[in-house]
Structures are given as C-alpha cells and as structure tokens.
Amino acid sequence: MSRAHKYHSDNDDTDSDVELDLQELDPAAASRDGEQYKGRHMEDKQIPLRSLRVGRARGFGRQSQKHESPEKREENQRLLEEGTDSRDSAGSLNNVGDDAPLLSAEVSSKPTLVSKEHTGGSFFSCLRLPNFKSASPPPRDSLPDNAHAKQGGGASRNISVGQYPQPRFPPNAVSNAKYSAWSFLPRTLYNEFSFFFNMYFLLVALSQIIPSLRIGYLSTYIAPLAFVLAITLGKEALDDVARRRRDSEANREEYTVLRLRDVAKSSPKGRPRRGASRLRSGQRSKRGASQRTRLDDIEEEEENTRWRDNYAGSEIELDEIRIKSRDLKVGDVLRLSKNQRIPADLVILQSLSADSSVTAITGQSSQGARPEDESLLVETEADESGITEDASSASAPGSDSSGEGGSIGETFIRTDQLDGETDWKLRLAPPMTQSLDPRDFVRLKIVAGKPSKEVNEFIGTMELAYNSKIEGAGVPSGNISKTSPLSIDNTAWANTVLASNAVVLAVVVYTGAQTRQALSTTQSRSKAGLLEYEINNLTKILCALTLTLSVALVIVRGVEGRAGQEWYITITRFLILFSTIVPISLRVNLDMGKSVYARFIERDKGIPGTVVRTSTIPEELGRIEYLLSDKTGTLTQNEMDLKKIHVGTVSYANEAMDEVRTYVRQGFSNGGALDVLQPAPLITPSSTYSTNSSGTATRTRREIGSRVRDLVLALALCHNVTPSIEEEEGSIITTYQASSPDEIAIIKWAESIGLRLMHRDRHTITLQYVDTSRIVVRVRILEVFPFTSSGKRMGIILQFIQGLESPGSSEQSPAEIWFYQKGADTVMSSIVAANDWLDEETANMAREGLRTLVVGRKRLSAQQYDDFSTRYKEASMSFQKRDLNMAKVITDCLERDLELLGVTGVEDKLQQDVKPSLELLRNAGIKIWMLTGDKVETARCVAVSAKLVSRTQYIHTITQLSDSSGTSAALDALSLLHSKPDSTALLIDGNSLSYFLTYHCHGFISLAVRLPAVIACRCSPTQKADIASLIRQFTQKRVLCIGDGGNDVSMIQAADVGVGIVGKEGRQASLAADFSITSFHHLTKLLVWHGRNSYKRSAKLAQFVIHRGLIISICQTFYSIATQFEPHALYRDWLLVGYATVYTMAPVFSLVLDKDVDEGLANLYPELYKELTTGKSLSYRTFFIWVAVSIYQGGIIQGLSQILVDTDSPRMVSVSFTVLVINELIMVAFEIVTWHWIMIVSILGTACIYVGSVPFLGGYFDLGFVWSWGFAWRVAAISAISLIPPYCIKILRRTLKPPSYRKVQGL
C-alpha cells in the first residue's frame, strides 16, 4: 500500500487499483520520514483535495470517466467525503502552482507547469491546472455553512471577473431602516415598556385579571393601554415604511452591466443561470451542514471550473444589460459615465474616452471571433514594459486625464460624499487591463483584501491567465498567468461620483454592507427625546406619591384590616384606584402632538422641501446646545471663484478685473496687427511687453502690465488641469478636470480675462488668446511636482517654445526653461525673494475669508536644469528615504529666491444666508463645531468667511500631533485654551484629534466644549461620530449634527438630532437623517421657531395631562376618606374613561396650537431660545406647582361636593363630576396665550357634548337633581372657589416677574 493510503486506513479498499502515489505526485513530500506523518488524518488540511478533484475532472477526460468502475467511483467518493473543506486546504489557498508540495503548507512563490516526467499512466499524472484556477476558492454557493462567514465576511476574496455562479456576498442594497419584519415588534415593545409609566399601566391592566383586585371592567384598563401602544407602534411603522420607500428609490437606480457569454456554448454547457445556481444552492442548504457531503462541494466546483475552462479561447460575446443597483453582484463589470454615482466598491479595469467608448466596448463584441494570430503575450509584455512609466507619469498632476486620454486609463472621481475632501482624486486603470479586449475579462481574477472602513487604503492583486488555446501565443515555459498589484489608485468606492468625461469599465469587489461607505456608517438607532425621559422621571414621582397615599390610607384605616380583606390587597386596590395619577393618555397626547408638529414643519412654506423622517423627537429641536456641521455642501457650495489678485504694488478685484483684461490683451496680442492668415509669434516670459500706445503710456503702467502678464501666464501654466471638449444641447463647450476645484477656478478666471487653456497632455501645454483665437504660448513639460498636504505647494518646470504659432513651423525651437511654483503663504514666504508686502496682503485676504496662493518663478539655464535632473533621478532611485532625498534636491536646486509674482485670493462660495444663520444660532446660545475632511487652510478660510469665528476671536491651531510628539507637546498645545476659553477658537487636524481622543480624551473634551467654536479638519466619518457621542456623554446636552454627504451619515445617526441636506451628489445624508432640509439657512427656522413651539407646547401639554389625572385622584382620595377608607371607586367605567377622552381631550390637546411669540420676534430675539435649553418649561419646580394646584382644586371640588350634598349618593357624583369637567375646560382657557379658532371650537364643543350626554348618564347621576337650581348653584359655587384663587395667583406672578416672551412683546 502506498503511503497515501495510511491517511485513510479506515476506508482501505485493497481491490482498488487507484492509489495515491506520493512519490509520483510530490517527490519532496514523499521523501520525508514516513513516521512523521503516520496516523495523521486529512483534517490536518495538508492534501489539497481540490487539486485531486481537478485531476479527476481534467486528467481523465471522457474516456477515463467512461472506463471508471463503480468500485473506483465509490472509493473516490469516500476519499473525498473524508476531506475537509477544500477552501481551507493548503493546496487550495496557498499553493499557487501545480507542482507545489502536496503535503506542505508553504506558499509556492513561483508557479511552474507540470513536468513531462509526470506523464505516466498514473491517475494523478494528468494533473494540470493554471495557477489562478487552482488557487481560486469554490463558489460561494458551494461552501458549507461554517465557511459562509469566512468568505463573505472578514476574509480575503477571490473574484473571477464577469463569471457565475458567484459567492454569497451581501446584496448591494442601501438600507436606512431601523427595523426588520422580525425585529419590529420586539424592539418597539422593548422601547415602549422601557418607559416606566407604560410598564406601570401594563401591571395595572394585568392586575384586573385577579378577581379580588378587580374594580371595574377589564376593558377600562386594557383598552387605553392597547390604544397607546397602537398609536406609538403605528407611528414607528409608518416612519420605517417611509424610510424603506426612500431606500427603494436608491436601490432601483439602474446601471449598465457588461454580460460576458460564450455564443458557441449555450446552456446547459455554457454559463449557468443565476436562478438555477440559487436554486441548487438553496436545495443544498435545506439539507443542513450535517447532511452536506464533501462531494456536493466538489461537484459544484467542478461544474464551475469546466465552465471557466470552456471560456479559454472561445468566442465571447458582450451584451449590455440594465441592472438595478440592488441586484449588482461581486464580479459584475459596470459601464459608468460622467456624473454617475458609483453604486458599489469597484476596481477600475479600463478608462476610455467618451467619444471612443462605443467603438471600444460594443464595437468589439460585434466583430465576431478574435483573430487567430492574436498574441496575448506580446500585448501584455508591451503593457509590462510601460507599467512604471505610465503609472508614475499618470500620477503626476500634469498627466492627461481620462476625459481625452482613454488610452492611458486615467479618470477623476469626486469623493466629497465619502470623505468630505473637495479635491478630485485621480484614479488609474491597471496597464494590464487598459489595453485588454473586454471579452478577455473572463480571464481575470482579482484577489482583494477583507472588507475595511479605511477609505484611503486598499491592497489586492489582479491575475490574467494566458490563453493557451491561441496559436502562436508564445507562452513562456513556466508561466501560465501574469499578476499585477492593485492599490487605492485603481479603486472607486461606493457613493463617489465619476467626474471625468470618460467611460469607465470597472468590476464590483465589495457590495452592500461590506462597502467602505457602509462600514463607516453606524447602525441606525431608535431615538427618544429628552422630554420623554424628564416625563418618565416625573412619572416615577407620581407613582411614589400613589404608593405613599395608598399606604397612608391603609395605615390610618388599620393594618389589621377587616374581615375578608388583607392589608396588602387593600393597598393594591388603592394603587389601582389612584392609577389615574399616572395618566396613560399622556403618551397618546404627546405622540399625537408630535405628529402635529411634524405636519406643521413639512407644510411650512418658508422651509420648502423639509421632510420629517423621525417624528418622535421634534421637541429636541428646541433643546439644542451643540451644533456639529459638515463644511462641503453644507456651509459651502464647493464652487470656487477667484476674487482678487495682488501683484506687489496694486490689487485687483471686482470691477478692476477689466483693467487686468486690458493688460492681458496688450501682453498676448503680439500678432494682432498682422494678417489673420499669417502665424503670430509665440510668447515667452522674456517677450517684450507692448502697450500698443507707447507714446502715452507711462513707465509705471508698462511695469504693472508686465507683472500682470507674468502672473496670469504663471497661473495659466502652473496647475494640473486638463481641458475637455464636450457637446451639450448641440453646442461645443470646454470643461476642465483637475484634482482641486481651486485650480479650475483659476483657469476659468484666466479664460475670462482672455487666456484660455486649449490643450494639455503629459508633455505639452498650449494656451490660446480668446479674442483672436490664436495660439500664443506653447511649452514642454519637463517635470511636475504635485501638491501634497505636507508640502502645501506644487511646482512645474517648463520649456517654452519660441517661433511662430503654426504647430508644424520649422521656425519653432526650444527656448527658455522656467520653474513655476505656487502654494500656501506659510511655506512660500521662505521660498520667494525678500519683500515687504507678502505677509500683510495674505493676512488681509485671509481676514476676508479668501484662500490665498502665492505664485513665484525662477529661470533655469540648461546647465542648471541638467544638474537638477541628474540629482533628482539619482534621488528617485534610492531605496531609503526616497521622498526626503527627492524633496531635498528640489529645495537645494529650485526653491531658493524665487521671483515673487503675486498673490491670488479664491473664495469658496457659501450656501445661501450662511453668515446670518450662524450668527443667529450663536446668539441663541448654540456652540458650533465644524467637522470636515478638507485641508486645514481651507477650513480656516471658510470659518472666517462664514463668520463661524468672529473677528475678535483668536484661532488656536493644533496640527500634526502624534505618538512621537509626546504628552508634553499635547498639554502645551492646550495650555493657551485654558487661559482664554471664551475668546479662542480651536482649529485641529484629524491626527491631532485622534491623539487627544486616545490619550487625553477627558481633558480635551472638557476644554473643547467650553470653546465658542471648534474646527476639526481631516476628520474621518468615524471620528465625526465619535466626537458627537463624546459631547453627548460628557455634557449630557442635546447635540445636533448636520451634513449632506454619505461621509456624514455616521455623525448624523450618532447625534440626538440628525439633519440632512439634500445635496447635489446624493441623498444619503438626508435619507439617514431625522429631518431633511434643502438648505442650511432653513435650520434656523427649524430650531428657533419650530423647535421652540414643539418643546413649549409639549411641556404645557404634558403638565396639563398630569394635572388632569392628579386632580381626579385627589377627588378619589377624599372620597375614600369619607367612606371610612374603603377602596371603592368614585367614578366608574364610562365616567372614568369619558373624563380622559370625550370630555377633556380635545380642549387639552388644542394646546398644541398655542404660541407665546410670533415668528418675527423669535428670529429678532434669538436669546429666547437660550431659555429653552435650561428646561424651565418642564422642571421639578413647575411640576410641583401643578401638583399643588391639583391638590387644592381636587380637595375643594370633592370636599365641598361632599359637604353640600350627601357623601355617598348619585347627587354628589353628579355635582363633583360636572365641576371637574368645567374646571378643566376653564383651566385650559387660562393657559392659552394666543387663541386659535380651533381652541374656541374645542372648548365650546366639548361643553356642548357633555351637556348633551348627561341624559345618558342615568346610571351614574341623579338626573332629576341635575335639572334643578340646587344643582346649578352648587356647581357654580364650587367652580368659582376652585378656579379664582389659582388664576389670581397666576396674574400676580406674571405681573411681579413677567416671563421673557411678555417682555419682548411689551406686555
């Protein structure tokens, strides 16, 4: 017996002639000591059964399978069933070559083909499988249950592009719903009964099941509780259904998917249908993991592998189909175009010019079979040779962008909805796939890392299998595939937007909950307002009061009780009688009031488009003390506009730009006097400046004109902008693509004054004078130094072309070499030559909220450039400290004594009315934080221009703190804030913020919450959410977060109140928010007006409902005392239910229409809002005042009724109940500040209803007595005594200490 059979001694079949010859399979493994492996079972995961299975599938072929005996098939099945999951085996995961050691877990570093020495007659001598097929995991549907989480969750993934069946990864669906069908009832019921008074009434209702505790009808207690729960659960259900409906809109968005199919092989031999695959997997899953055999997994993978093999060299056809976003799967190839939202995390395969994309994609699929002489090897070798050059040059800002440069595979994406950064990001297609026929995508396999929330990191590889069936491919010996690394530059994450005028082909790698966007988003939670918690605490006091009252009555009566009544039963009955002290209708009234407030907000024409998505917390809008706002798209429009330039002696802005236009015309119209058919000379920096009126022009004007021309020329050349020609509505327009909107603003400004960027690629730039449409400047790009966050500057070395404008002119020749640089004033001030105006002018622009750029230049001789180029290339080849060495060469050779050309001021346009809105909110006592993913300088400028930081406040900046900085540096950075917390604003970057939150969390937060303004830059979505949570936990104050992008969703959901703005790039934030608005300035009305009304009305409504329940309990107490402490009900059945519903509910609920001030005064005096945050409208003080009023009125009503009428008779009940109803109606009228017609109707209508219902109350009243004068004067007297004293005290208090709203009204 061979050694291999020692692993399966239990299944030994000596008659089988299929033996595992390890010497033949793996000499290295077979040569080891046999005792080392003796007794080990296949569970050691060493033998790659998957490789053995492939050998059976491919090596035998049809003839081998035909001649295989039943005994052999049975033994093979037993052998395979005893193996573990092939995906966990060494051969399946790690060994990438066919000759990898079979019993070794080592990873084979270099794949090779099967040697001819192993082609004997043995069963396993036919093993041969291309590298990526042997390494790829089984389909997701074929994995056992214990592997599902591993493949679909945190493990790395192998993705076969465009191929099916696919693994079971999460569906690509957006979900902002709080509940599922299964979790709705458990979660909502838990939330409801977590409030004390709901649990209290549940116990009271259940107590009526016990006969000895039953007082009235069971429905009297069950029905109100059921009604309360039905109202609350119905509201939650409607809110969640609305969320699901909005999610469905996003999930139904359609995308174009390239379907790769073999036209020669249709089903059943062709590509498996998705539905069939799902059906088979579903049938297998029903059997359970215990019944799922090893053969099930292998047979399914065999089917998939045979299908993959059939694609090699076959005729693949491309179909474009439209698929909804929710139906996208991992492995789908998407076709995306400009301004299209990216629905999942993608790896870019190709980026094509929009003009050529139709031919490049769909045209190829109609060409039929590929030529037989196609050589993949030649094609990929050409790619390989140019990988380094293309990648490095493409990453340079000067590279040709995808819009027009489809052949080099570049495109720009906008990520502001993901990470908050306004700069566009350059993304590259791997050179290996950029020139690949899309039909060959089936030969691609991508290995991607496990899902992560790091939006700036990605590690993966792409493998392209050589097509061995193509004749003349020239596949080199030992190579069956080609591998290329993948990085963040090759990806486009979900919720970003394609910005380039290009068509991008990309493959889906992460979907749904595993995308970067979803992983950075916290789970939606149920929110409850602070008012509800306050009422919950008050309810506990009322319950304690009920218990105290019940115990006191039993003690006075005597603990020993009476015959047949135990003392604890008597206490329980009293508790049930006094249960109205804790009014069950309180939640109903509050929930219905919230619905009314939500309707008021949505119907307000002053804030059109506002949507209330969480209708349970409108009162929270009146209690906000901290506002955390995003910048891009929330405070700003992300639209840049160059507002001002300064050239040393004079500045230009607004109307003065016309003079700049004149200087440009004079400086770039050298050929203007020539014949239009004759070429004009090209302009260089040393060209003579001509004013065309030299006789009258002064020398000073010529000097200024020359400086303006030089500055404009520098701005038109020193950038990374690429022009793109597009056709919109029949007209040709030029658009610009760049990584930064600042640069686009500068180029558009240069075009507006006469100098247009006509062409740019990786090697040349061409400028055109607008008025004459002549080419005036041509340059060669020698070097580009891109902008970095640490360097804060970008530079470019150009060689100007001199001669005539004609492109083919023989008179053109290289001329001057110039180095241009622009950057932040903080770094450029030490680079440019000494001057006396730079610091002052940049400070002036900064105070205006403008983003400043300092521009300089330096002329280089040919020798200087050669010396620099040599040193720079040497530094770029170093293996250690490469970036530092390259930066040092630039500093030593170029960045010394640059000629200062001027300063530009770019404005980031603010949203409508942002300045007055922030000022009003600040006056309302709200502390404002700005959290952004943008740069420090950008955030500083916006904070100043938006008046987030006032002129009198000092901005203290903390940046680049890390573990290496040490504790002392962190404490020193906070020392200044301790001395002047009221007049200092904090500006901090993401790294420093992370350091403080990790090591000095309490000290930092305790200081930061005292500052008037905080600006946090470079914040990740997780950091934003963490800050919101920390402020809530530390201060116990209400926090509102507002944003417009997907990167703000976590922050919005972590806040007490989340507000989303419907942005230009998507609705992710608005869908996840509690309130959705269309503009930032709508927030002021939402808080100052609607927030005020919602809180004040709910506070008044809650106290009045408590008063209504407490007063009837006081009446019950007096009645129990009068009846010798017997626990009998004063008002039974309908009287008890009708009092809380028909007879008092409408007038009390009409208080939701009351308002103490009008909208104009609320906006004029935002300080009124500050009072709301103190919670004085509903406090322990106001609560006990209402308790005192209730005790007085209840005692008067019931006491006088018992004195004036017989104690225990229907007459007393009729007088007492009638006075009780009248008292509540008049008390409502006393509390109204601003009358509404509905209030009048509700009070008078309720009075009429009560009078009309009296004839039907014969079972409780003495109707004959009711219609007598004796009844009338008793009711009038008792009502006057109960109402007049409280009203007089209220008038006196209002006169001696008027509330603020009466002061501003002048009352």
**What long-range pairs does 703-707 form, CB within 8 A, spacing at least 24?**
704/647, 704/649, 704/650, 704/663, 705/663, 705/666, 705/667, 706/667, 707/647, 707/648, 707/649, 707/901, 707/902
Question: How far is the C-alpha of 1172 from the C-alpha of 624, rounded, in Å?
Answer: 9
Alpha carbons within 13 angstroms on the beta-carbon side of residue 933 total: 24
At residue 444, the 3 state secondary structure works out as strand
33 is an active site residue: no
List the one residue out of 316, 235, 280 whose CA is nearest residue 592. 235
Task: Specify the DSSP element, H or E, that contains 495.
Answer: none
* Residue the block writes with tokens 């994450």: 493
Residue with tokens 């680049």: 960
Distance CA 576, CA 586 (A): 17
d(CA 46, CA 934): 50
Buried b (16+ CB within 10 A) or exposed e, 664-682: bbbbbbbbbeeeeeebbeb
Backbone angles phi, psi at 860, to 5 degrees: -120, 135
DSSP 407: G
How far, in Å, CA of 786 to CA of 489, rounded? Answer: 15
428 closest CA partner among 386, 490, 385: 490
Give the whole-angstrom CA distance, residue 1095 versus residue 1290. Answer: 22
**327 secondary structure, DSSP code:** G
Phi, psi of 229 (to 5 degrees): -65, -40
| Residue 523 in tokens | 């789970």
Please name the residue ranges forming H helices in 654-698: 657-667
Sign of the CA dihedral with 1032 first, then 1035, 1040, and 1046 last: negative
What are φ and ψ of residue 1305, in 5° steps? -85, -10
Tokens of 488: 């963040």
Largest Cα separation within the chain, whole Å, is 127
| Catalytic residue from among 98, 345, 630, 934 | 630
List Cβ neighbours of 296 (8 Å cut-off, separation of 6 or more): 142, 284
Cross-strand partners of 858: 819
Asked whether 1051 and 963 are in contact (CB, 8 A), the reply is no
Cα–Cα nearest to 70, from 151, 5, 15: 15
Taking 3-state DSSP, the helix, strand and coil percentages for the chain, each rounded to the nearest 5, stand at 50, 15, 35
d(CA 222, CA 224): 6
Tell which phi-psi region holds residue 1229, choosing left (phi > 0), alpha (psi between -120 and 50) or beta: alpha
**Which tokens go with 1132?**
């039974």
What's the one-letter identity of residue 88? D
Nearest to 502 by CA among 728, 338, 721: 338
- Count the Cβ atoms, other than its own, within 10 Å of residue 960: 13
Residue 1016 gets which letter from DSSP? Answer: E
| CB distance 644 to 746 below 8 Å | no
500: left (phi over 0), alpha (psi -120 to 50) or beta: beta
| 749-756, Cβ contacts within 8 angstroms, sequence gap of 24 or more | 749/641, 749/642, 749/715, 750/712, 750/715, 750/716, 752/657, 753/657, 753/660, 753/661, 753/664, 753/712, 754/661, 754/664, 754/665, 754/668, 755/664, 755/668, 755/712, 755/713, 755/716
On the CB side of 39, how many CA atoms lie within 13 Å of its CA?
A: 2
Query: Which residues are annotated as catalytic?
Result: 630
